Copies of this chain bind each other. A is one copy, B any other.
Amino acid sequence: MRIAEILVESSPTPFWDILKQIGVDEATGILPRWYPDWRQWRSDNPWDYSSLSNYKRMIEEAGFKLTVIEDNPPMDKIIYGLPGKEEQLENVAKLIENMGKLKIPIWCYNWMPDGWLRTRTALRGRGGALTSGFDEEDLKEAPPPKLGKIDKATLWKNLREFLKFILPIAEDANVKLAIHPDDPPLDEVRGVARIMNTVEAFDKLIEEFPSEYNGITFDHSIFSLMTNDLVSVVRHFLEKKRIFFVHFREVIGNKSKFEEVFIDEGMTRQFEEMREYIKHGFYGPFRVDHTPTLLGDTMQLSVPGYSVLGRIHAIGYLQGLFRAAAESLGYYQ
């Protein structure tokens, strides 16, 4: 299977070698935001050609194919439709064009005005492993974020304008746009609307922009919170050929209140889902996501859910699941 595990470090670490050893040959990258000079001087933005090509070379030297960029230049003014959005649009265009020149085929972005949300980042999961969760109640007193409230209609309008602008650029550059669902997939949080939170919303997006460069980052957990029949939803978007990238993790709960759990603790039909991917010729890229942090986990990063040991376990699990699905479909006879 093709796993493109996310690399968030600014230079190669022992974890990168470990990933190669356990069978990961592709990478999901972020933008190289760190300063190349300790005087904090840089002559190019992280999405400019030089920055991005240096970054890609570093990842290739470490043995990975750079398959996805899961990051973006600032887009808050684009999402909110505020003055200054033109410059932000230019930067996104540059990123896509440079990805095209560098043959990085997939861009993962989202349309959340307030980002992905967790309100608990020190929960204790199985065996005391550190994990994260979300509870809408925790935010009931929280005022709107910096840029204020926004409604669904405006979010849709701005997303349509964005795609009208960026899709032709992506098509020319041969870069696939893979929108990530809202996490959590609520209708509104802190007075801020969310729109990419139902199966219907993704259908609408695909129908309105039928380009084969307009697709989805299929986040297993978030979609599992939107439907009672995840396997059919996977099949639906695979039939439309609009799944470009998969995030695989498990949560327990509902979209208003959930906890991240170990990948083997979920109750979804993972095997049937995996069979759908293979039946439709989709072998990846997959990556694991939000794994609990184990005792003594050697590199707990600033972002919860991205430690080393937890990911080794989840990657092994995903490989076992995929192998079983492939064998059930006639491989390894």
Contacts and interface: CB of A to CB of B under 8 A. Distances in A.
Interface in A128-150: 128-129
B17 A270 contact: no
A21 interface: yes
A267 B326 CA distance: 12
A272 B333 CA distance: 10
A49 B314 CA distance: 40
Contact of A271 (B263, B272, B327): B327
A272 B22 contact: no
Interface stretch (A50-58, A74-82, A190-198, A288-296): A288-296
Copies in the complex: 2
Interface in A1-46: 14, 17-18, 20-23
Nearest to A265: B23
A84 interface: no
A107 interface: no
B23 A264 contact: yes
Contact of A21 (B63, B127, B317): B127
Contacts of A128: 17, 20-21
9 contacts: A18-B127, A20-B126, A20-B128, A21-B262, A21-B292, A263-B316, A271-B332, A312-B312, A316-B317
Interface string A292-333: 101110100000000001001111111111111101100011
Given A267-B332, A268-B332, A312-B316, 9 more contacts: A18-B294, A18-B295, A21-B292, A270-B332, A271-B332, A298-B298, A312-B312, A317-B319, A320-B321
Interface string A201-241: 00000000000000000000000000000000000000000
Interface of A: 14, 17-18, 20-23, 63, 125-129, 262-265, 267-272, 274, 292, 294-296, 298, 309, 312-325, 327-328, 332-333
Contacts of A20: 126-128
A184 to B, nearest CB: 23
Given A18-B295, A298-B296, A324 B332 contact: no
Nearest to A268: B332
B324 A325 contact: yes
Contact of A321 (B21, B272, B323): B323
Nearest to A288: B316
A264 B317 CA distance: 10
B320 A269 contact: no
A327 B127 contact: no
Given A313-B315, A315-B313, A14 B327 contact: no
Contact of A309 (B18, B274, B332): B18
Contacts of A323: 264, 270-271, 317, 320-321
A319 B265 CA distance: 10
A296 B22 contact: no
Contacts of A264: 22-23, 316, 319-320, 323
Contacts of A309: 18, 309, 312
A127 B17 contact: yes
A272 B21 CA distance: 26
